[in-house]
Structure 1
Amino acid sequence: MLLPDAVEALSALAQGHRLAVFRLLVRAGGDGLPAGDIAREIGVRPNTLSTHLTILSHAGLVHSRREGRQIIYAADYEAMSGLLTFLVADCCGGRAEICAPLAEMAQNCCEKERKA
């Protein structure tokens, strides 16, 4: 991932509702969620959600598909992986043992969310 792409992705996530939408879509998995379900879950009006989804989409973090009358949104896991890789690419000057707690913490976080 190039610096301008990382900046755009981080900018898109630097707002509470958009971050909540992205995290919800990450939890939802590859099947994604209909826009109406996202709006209800996050607690925003559909037109406001549309703006947030457009920003996330332009940043490459989500994609959409039409199923009948619904638009289904899903997280782009490749883009998420690219952003995370970009953020830790120079982690600790190449000393992987220093970054190991980060990977462990992420794993523990995911396990806690699955149990909740």
Structure 2
Amino acid sequence: MDISLATDGFSAMGSPSRFAVLQVLVKAGQDGLPTGVIGERTGIPASTLAHHIKFLATADLVQQERQGRMIVCRANFDHLEALAGYILKECCADQLQKEEAA
């Protein structure tokens, strides 16, 4: 993962509403949720919700699938894990370097 892709993902999570949508989808697991249920759980109106889901999908944090007349959204767990790994890959590097030098 490069820094541009990472910043796009973290930026997409930078709104309280989008973060709430993502949290609801993470809690739902691999089955995901229909957009109507996401709206009910977050309290976000449908028109605004569509905008937030599109933003998250553009950043590859959410995947959408049409099932009949319903759209089911799922958290993209692979991408979320890659983002977490990217931000944590240098965890404590300075501290470890100090300990090795001592």
Q: What's the TM-score once normalised by structure 1's chain length?
A: 0.79
Alignment identity in percent?
34
Structure 1 residue 94: deviation in Å?
7.8
Structure 2 distance, partners of 1:27, 1:40, is 14
Amino acid at match of 1:29: G
> Once superposed, which parts of structure 1, at least 4 consecutive aligned residues long, lie more than 4 Å away?
none
Corresponding residue of 1:48: 48
Aligned residue pairs, count: 96
Q: CA deviation at 1:40?
A: 1.0
Deviations 1:60-103 (A, max 9, x none): 1000101110000000000000000001011111878xxxxxxx
Q: Which residue identity is paired with 1:7? A: T
Please report the RMSD computed on the Cα atoms of aligned residues, expressed in angstroms: 1.3
Secondary structure at the aligned position of 1:73 is classed as strand
- Residues 1-116 of structure 1 aligned to structure 2 (within 5 Å): 1-93=1-93
Greater RCO structure (CA 8 Å; 6+ sep):
2
Rounded Cα–Cα distance in structure 2 between residues aligned with 1:6 and 1:30 = 22
Structure 1 unaligned residues grouped into runs of 5+ = 97-116
